C-alpha cells in the first residue's frame, strides 16, 4: 500500500485466537502503567501531570512515526470526526483523568472496581441498544469476573463514600465502556494506527487544558525515582509509560476489536488489574494476600466463561467493513 493510501480500509477476517492474544497483550501493557507511573507521582508529580505527560508523549511519537512512514493514515473520511473526537475524549483522556480523580478521593481498590464495571455496561449496551441476545452463561461469567475483581482489589477494606470520588469512578467506567464500543465501531472504517493516533491527539489536547506541559516541574523530572532495585530519572519513567503502557497498549487493544466483540473483549481486559497487582508486588513490594490470589482465580474463571460463550465476530463474505449490530 502506498504512503498516500486513504485511512479507510477493509478489515481482515476476524480471528478469535488473535483477538484473545492481542487483548491479553494490551492488558499486560496497560497493567504495567501503575507500577511505572506511581514512582513518578511519589517523586512529586501530580496524577493529572503524569496522565498529561503520558498521553502527550504518546501523541508526539505516533504523529512523528506516521508522518514519516504512512501519512495517509492521518486522513479522516467525511463524517468520521465525531467518532474520533469521542474516542479521544472518552476512551483516552476521560479514562485516565477520571480514574486518577477517583483514586485520589476513595480507596484505590474501589476506584479500580468501579472502572472495571465497564464490561457490565458494554453488555447492557449490546443487549438493550443493539438488541443482541447474550447467553445466560455470559452473564454468569461477568458476575464471577466482577466478584473476583473485588477480591483482588480488596474493596472491603477502608471504604469511604466520597460522593465526588464515587461519581468519578462511575464516570471512568462509562469512559472505559466507550473505549470498547467506539473502538469496535471505529476499526471498521479506520486503520488501528490512525485511529489510536487521532485518539492520542484529542486526548492530549484535553489533558493539556488541565495540566499544561510547560508547568511540569523540571527539578522533579530530573530527579531519581525508586523503581524496584533501579533509580531511573522521572522523565525516563514517563517515556516508558508512554511507549509501553500507552502506545503499544492502545494499538494492541484497538486491533483486538477487529477480531472480538466488545462484550467479550471488555471482560477479557479484566486481567489488567491482575497484571497491575502482580507488577506492584514485584517492583514496588506490594505483596498479594491469600484472598487476592483466590480472587485472581475467580476473575480468570469468569473471563474464560465469557470468552467461551460470547457471540463470535464475523466479517461479511464480501470483505466489506463490519457493520454495527442494531
Q: Is residue 9 part of a domain?
A: no
Q: Is residue 318 part of a domain?
A: no
> Can you state the percent helix, strand and coil of the chain, rounding each to 5?
70, 0, 30
| 45-59, 77-91, 151-165: least confidently modelled range | 151-165
CB burial readout 63-96, b (16+ within 10 A) else e: beebeeebebbbebeeebeebbbbbbbbbbbbbb
What is the tens place of the pLDDT at every residue in 185-240? 888 777 888 999 999 999 999 999 999 999 999 999 999 998 888 899 999 999 99
What is the tens place of the pLDDT at every residue in 240-266? 999 999 999 989 988 888 888 877 888
Q: Is residue 103 part of a domain?
A: yes
Q: Is residue 92 part of a domain?
A: yes
What is the tens place of the pLDDT at every residue in 66-103? 999 899 988 887 788 999 999 999 999 999 888 878 87
Residue 221 domain boundaries: 16-309
Q: Is residue 28 part of a domain?
A: yes
Q: What is the pTM of this model?
A: 0.76
Considering its fold, how many domains does the chain have in total? 1
Q: Is residue 320 part of a domain?
A: no
Q: Is residue 11 part of a domain?
A: no
Q: Is residue 315 part of a domain?
A: no
Amino acid at each position: 500500500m502506498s504512503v498516500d493510501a486513504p485511512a479507510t480500509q477493509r478489515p481482515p477476517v476476524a480471528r478469535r485466537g488473535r483477538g484473545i492474544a492481542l487483548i491479553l497483550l494490551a492488558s499486560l501493557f496497560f497493567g504495567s502503567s501503575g507500577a511505572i507511573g506511581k514512582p513518578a507521582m511519589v517523586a512529586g508529580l501530580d496524577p493529572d501531570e503524569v496522565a498529561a505527560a503520558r498521553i502527550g508523549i504518546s501523541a508526539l511519537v505516533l504523529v512523528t512515526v506516521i508522518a514519516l512512514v504512512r501519512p495517509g493514515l492521518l486522513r479522516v473520511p467525511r463524517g468520521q470526526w465525531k467518532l474520533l473526537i469521542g474516542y479521544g475524549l472518552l476512551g483516552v483522556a476521560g479514562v485516565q483523568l477520571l480514574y486518577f480523580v477517583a483514586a485520589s478521593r476513595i480507596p484505590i481498590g474501589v476506584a479500580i472496581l468501579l472502572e472495571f464495571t465497564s464490561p457490565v455496561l458494554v453488555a447492557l449496551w449490546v443487549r438493550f441498544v443493539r438488541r443482541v441476545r447474550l447467553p445466560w452463561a455470559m452473564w454468569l461469567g461477568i458476575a464471577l469476573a466482577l466478584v473476583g475483581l473485588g477480591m483482588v482489589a480488596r474493596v472491603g477494606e477502608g471504604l469511604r463514600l466520597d460522593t465526588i470520588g464515587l461519581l468519578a469512578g462511575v464516570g471512568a467506567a462509562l469512559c472505559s465502556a466507550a473505549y470498547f464500543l467506539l473502538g469496535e465501531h471505529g476499526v471498521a472504517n479506520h486503520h488501528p494506527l490512525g485511529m489510536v493516533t487521532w485518539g492520542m491527539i484529542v486526548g492530549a489536547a484535553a489533558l493539556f487544558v488541565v495540566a499544561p506541559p510547560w508547568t511540569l516541574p523540571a527539578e522533579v523530572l530530573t530527579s531519581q525515582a525508586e523503581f524496584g532495585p533501579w533509580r531511573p530519572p522521572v522523565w525516563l519513567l514517563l517515556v516508558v509509560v508512554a511507549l509501553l503502557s500507552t502506545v503499544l497498549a492502545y494499538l494492541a487493544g484497538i486491533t483486538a476489536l477487529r477480531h472480538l466483540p466488545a462484550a467479550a473483549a471488555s471482560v477479557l481486559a479484566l486481567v489488567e488489574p491482575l497484571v497491575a497487582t502482580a507488577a506492584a508486588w514485584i517492583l514496588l513490594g506490594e505483596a498479594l494476600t491469600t484472598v487476592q490470589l483466590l480472587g485472581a482465580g475467580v476473575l480468570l474463571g469468569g473471563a474464560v466463561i465469557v470468552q467461551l460463550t460470547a457471540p463470535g465476530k464475523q466479517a461479511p463474505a464480501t470483505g466489506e467493513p463490519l457493520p454495527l449490530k442494531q
